[in-house]
Amino acid sequence: MNYKLKLFIVAIILIGAVAIAHAQQGNHVWLDDLLVSNFSEGIPSVSAKTSAGSDSMKLQGVYFARGIGVQSLSVLSFYLDGKAKKFTAIVGADDKGNPITSSKFYVIGDRKILFGSKDMKPGDKPENVDVDLSGIKRLGLLVTIADSGAGRVYSDWANAKFEMLNNAMPEPMPNDDERYILTPHSSKIPRINSPLVFGATPGNPFLYTIAATGERPLHFSAINLPKGLFLNAKTGIITGKITRRGNYIITLKAGNKFGTATKRLVIKIGDTIVLTPPIGWNGWNSWAKSIDKEKVIASANAMVSSGLSNHGWTYINVDDAWQGQRGGKYNAIQPNEKFTGFKKMIDYIHSKGLKFGVYSTPWISSYAGYVGGSSNFKDGAYPDFIKNNKRAYRYIGKYRFEKNDALQMADWGVDYLKYDWHIELNSAERMSAALKNSGRDIFFSISNSAPFALAKDWERITNAWRTGPDIRDSWLSLYVSAFSIDKWAPYGGPGHWNDPDMLIVGNVTTGSSLHPTRLTPDEQYSHVSLFSLLSAPLNIGCPIEQLDPFTLNLLSNDEVLEIDQDPLGKSARLLADEDNVQIWVKPMQDGSYAVGLFNIDGFGKTPQSFFRWGDEKPRSFLFDFSKLNLPGKWQLRDVWRQKNLGVFNGSFTTSIHHHGVVLLRMFPVGISNKLSK
């Protein structure tokens, strides 16, 4: 080998060594340069380069231009796959946060606590974080607070950054668990799936659709249909009016070449509507402000073509962003330019046997910056200076238009109103009265975070109330929204329902652009199971036309939906929490019980429990009937698999996946059993 060639080879080796050394030094990735909403599992959104109060981050008098601000309990999850060197930050409770409660910060890698701060209040000295991430695959940044009910709890990860290897980037936590399907496909033989009871007001327009599965075409009929009602034998849609109060017992029939299904329906004409929880679709978590008429019509069409309407899914609800200026014969909110032909669109939806809902607020401006139900102008004007400064007008104006808007909704044929603001009693009462005097049955749902102290009032004047904040597609949010609302159970029932918010399955836009839900398949089974046990309104929050087979199957189990739609209307109660398994029990009208066994796996008890580490295992669990005052023999049925498990005397042993559920129906055998109250 000649001298020049040797020099060339040495040079190449040196250049490569320098490049490798440079790569191994890593590149800095600021936390606030990431789309942090993709990593956040908390309920309030995270704020880049500001505090959670949308102000400058300030720790013990020092301002910080880099970092993120979080509010209340905060969970941030990252997948590093061993490609990070370290994480650094300065952490503390923001000076402008709640001075009473305290925050505590954790950095957790692969189940090990790499950093834990002291309890920190605003004004306390911040702490420096400098942790080695060599080899770490999964990382969690956690902030816990001393009082989960406290407001304005602002905590800062100031100057937070990763040092990554080889130009790698932190990724959201993977969600690649098997999407296993449990529910068998519907039979070709007819089955009627619509509710057993239906309520309407005397003289108001009546719309009820016989929801039925089975090979098409089906032929529908009804025995003892009251005077004033008319049934379309091809579609199963019943319309008309009943003027006389009372209970009417009808026999519904659906038939095809494979057989005939019958079902007893009780129509109650009186003062109470929506005797079972409404189930349908809401556009916000699908499209947010980009909703338009075409997307709504596509959703209605998909509700029918997917077969969901055959399982009883009924409502097509438009959320915020449909509203234009006031006008028309009632000087009411009119649709904006995205919703031309509004009445024609609603008529089309009704022709499908579906119902239609809208959104409004008693404020001057809605959360998304659209016309609200009040104004500081007598004619209800909404000029651009308000739209451009929407946050400043989230209050009730001098002039209110509840009656105007209710009459317009009834005239259009609206069936559902979501009323959204910082809930207070007076506004709710005014709109409740306006809707009841509109000449149409309009379901009245108030949102969000209804004060629990006024639960009896919400029961009296509304049809549903949001029991908590907006839901996000994370286990933490689901846990707060559903697993923590047992106290509301006594107030829900026929005509007035506890509402834990929308279903977070399929593709959703909660906190970021449209993406597959971050709930694992097991968590999704738990989600739909618990909402059904709670007798909650079920609003699909994803684009229906984008449903994959797993999600469609998840929403098409008639025995699960039957639990939600049970005419008794009782909410399940949390009757036991043992061995990290919660047992929720719901009495059913036929004397059986619906039971959910949920593997919570100690969620919230340790810092590590807030995160998914990828190594979680199923849990074997002994369900002891006697502990719930359910002695004796019971016929058990696996509801998701629609399969009888046999007769069990005293107990039942099963395996439950991490954050998963075993959903059962328990039918008494031989003796009378009573559940303790």
Written as six digits, the tokens of 378 are 């007598």
Written as six digits, the tokens of 317 are 């609800």
Written as six digits, the tokens of 93 are 């409770």
> What are the residues facing 226 on neighbouring strands?
none
Please spell the DSSP secondary structure of 407-458, one letter per residue: HHHHHHT--EEEEESS--HHHHHHHHHHHHTTTS--EEEEES---GGGHHHH
Side-chain-facing half-sphere of 375: CA atoms under 13 Å: 21
> What are the residues facing 254 on neighbouring strands?
220, 261
Give the C-alpha separation, 286 to 440, whole Å.
Answer: 28
- For residues 244 and 269, the answer to whether their CB atoms sit within 8 Å is yes
Rg (CA), the chain: 28
Peptide bond into 448 cis (omega under 30): yes
**Cα dihedral: 382, 386, 388, 390 (round 10):** -110
List the catalytic residues.
420, 470
Peptide bond into 195 cis (omega under 30): no
Written as six digits, the tokens of 80 are 């590093």
Side-chain-facing half-sphere of 326: CA atoms under 13 Å: 24
**Amino acid making up residue 45:** S
What does residue 251 show for φ and ψ, rounded to 5 degrees?
-110, 115
Q: How far apart are the first and last CA of the chain?
A: 93
What does residue 126 show for φ and ψ, rounded to 5 degrees?
-70, 165
Sign of CA dihedral 598, 599, 605, 607: negative
